[in-house]
Homo-oligomer: A and B are copies of this chain.
Amino acid sequence: MFENSQESRTNLSELGEFGLIDHLTKNFSPRLKSTIKAIGDDAAVLDFENEQTLISTDLLVEGVHFDLSYTPLKHLGYKAVMVNLSDIYAMNGTATQITVSIAVSNRFPVEALEELYSGIHLASKIYNVDVVGGDTTSSTSGLFISVTALGVAEKDEVVYREGANPNDLLVLTGDLGAAYMGLQVLEREKEVFKANPNAQPDLDQYTYLIERQLKPEARKDIPPLLKKLEVKPTSMIDISDGLSSEIIHLCKSSKVGANLFEEKIPLDPAVISVCEEFQLDSTTIALSGGEDYELLFTISQNDYDKIKGNPHLTVIGHMTEEKEGMHLITRAAQKLPLIARGWNSMGNKED
């Protein structure tokens, strides 16, 4: 269905020893003042002057984090960058540089890697980050993408997971559940395609969901928005594993409890309708779906007026004393304990 197909096919070995990475990165020219030396030496050289440095890394594995039967390689390159930038924005920072390492089996022609790198290049342009290094190697099977992102923030601007206080408001950017439901649609279409390769899927009504899954955008806009609104969150985290587990992370790091109000959780109408179609509970999807790359943060109640009515931000609950625990308050006013069911491939300490 969306199988990556390339008309021409150049074997990786044809580019020779140092040819591949030169070839793939030839259009990557650094733009930032902080990038003193990018690709081309033993290490990249950066100058952040007086700002603090942020660093985060993620490893994406074929067959675990992505399925190339419905993931275009260009989108995959773009997403690999987003996953990492999201962690920098979750510290209230500005992303500045990335390194990209890939291990790839020889079933991939050079043209496939060009596609992958075109997505990385596009992301680096749109998000204004320089690609300053990386490594390209062969793998015995499959594709592995390891991205490390660097960012900067003034010392007193960095927001950790651990600063939330009881009575702080719990605020979410954007809406939840779309990326997970996009994945469900893609998985269903894959099965349909397997049964009947001539089927012509009509995916128009799922466009938003599929885009959120295949080409997510990180919330680059939120740190400057918060600065403009003169709000410094007391704690912040990105939502990669579903709302539940991220609230639990914030609470545990900050030693507080939380009440989350089901009726406040922002859902796109497309999520509600596809959840009905799949007979899934949309709240469960928002709580545990993951891959939304939105930001979750807490603010002092005194700052409420500054964010009130902002279309990017929704107050979904508030923090409590630690001993009160972490709860979902349902539409029927039931109080249910929050449970981490976020998707996670074995454990990731950094997002």
Residues of A within 8 A of B (CB): 12, 15-22, 25, 36-37, 39-50, 52-59, 61-65, 86-88, 90-91, 93, 97, 99, 101-103, 132-142, 144, 146, 148-151, 153, 155, 158, 160-162, 236-238, 245, 253, 340, 342, 344-351
**Nearest-CB distance from A186 to chain B (Å)?**
19
Please, how many angstroms separate the alpha-carbon atoms of A238 and B49 in the complex?
A: 27
**Nearest-CB distance from A210 to chain B (Å)?**
24
**Interface contacts beyond A22-B349, A42-B90, A47-B155: sample of 20 additional A-B pairs, CB < 8 Å, sorted by A:** A12-B346, A17-B340, A17-B344, A42-B88, A42-B161, A46-B53, A46-B54, A48-B48, A55-B132, A55-B133, A55-B150, A58-B101, A59-B144, A64-B140, A99-B350, A101-B146, A133-B349, A135-B349, A135-B350, A144-B146
Which residue of the partner chain B has the closest CB to A132? Answer: B55
* Contacting pair B43 A135 (CB below 8 A): no
* Contacting pair A41 B135 (CB below 8 A): no
Please, how many angstroms separate the alpha-carbon atoms of A155 and B134 in the complex?
A: 23
Which residue of the partner chain B has the closest CB to A140? Answer: B63
Q: Which residues of B contact A53 (CB under 8 A)?
A: 45-48, 53, 150
**Nearest-CB distance from A78 to chain B (Å)?**
19
**Nearest-CB distance from A131 to chain B (Å)?**
10
**Nearest-CB distance from A286 to chain B (Å)?**
19
Q: Which residues of B contact A344 (CB under 8 A)?
A: 17-18
* Contacting pair A135 B91 (CB below 8 A): no
**Nearest-CB distance from A251 to chain B (Å)?**
14
* Contacting pair A161 B41 (CB below 8 A): yes
Please, how many angstroms separate the alpha-carbon atoms of A61 and B209 in the complex?
A: 35
Closest 8 interchain pairs by CB?
A43-B56, A146-B146, A42-B90, A20-B347, A42-B87, A21-B349, A59-B101, A46-B53
Q: Which residues of B contact A41 (CB under 8 A)?
A: 91, 160-162, 253, 350
Please, how many angstroms separate the alpha-carbon atoms of A142 and B140 in the complex?
A: 8
* Contacting pair A349 B25 (CB below 8 A): yes
Please, how many angstroms separate the alpha-carbon atoms of A148 and B43 in the complex?
A: 10
* Contacting pair A137 B47 (CB below 8 A): no
* Contacting pair B40 A349 (CB below 8 A): yes
Residue of A63, A146, A155 with most partner-chain B CB within 10 A: A146
* Contacting pair B43 A52 (CB below 8 A): no
Please, how many angstroms separate the alpha-carbon atoms of A306 and B149 in the complex?
A: 40
Please, how many angstroms separate the alpha-carbon atoms of A55 and B56 in the complex?
A: 13
Residue of A43, A97, A161, A340 with most partner-chain B CB within 10 A: A43
Which residue of the partner chain B has the closest CB to A16? Answer: B347
Partner of A54, one of B18, B39, B44, B86: B44
Partner of A347, one of B18, B88, B97: B18
**Nearest-CB distance from A134 to chain B (Å)?**
6
Please, how many angstroms separate the alpha-carbon atoms of A22 and B245 in the complex?
A: 16
Please, how many angstroms separate the alpha-carbon atoms of A238 and B41 in the complex?
A: 10
**Nearest-CB distance from A231 to chain B (Å)?**
18
Q: Which residues of B contact A146 (CB under 8 A)?
A: 57, 59, 101, 135, 144, 146
Please, how many angstroms separate the alpha-carbon atoms of A148 and B53 in the complex?
A: 14
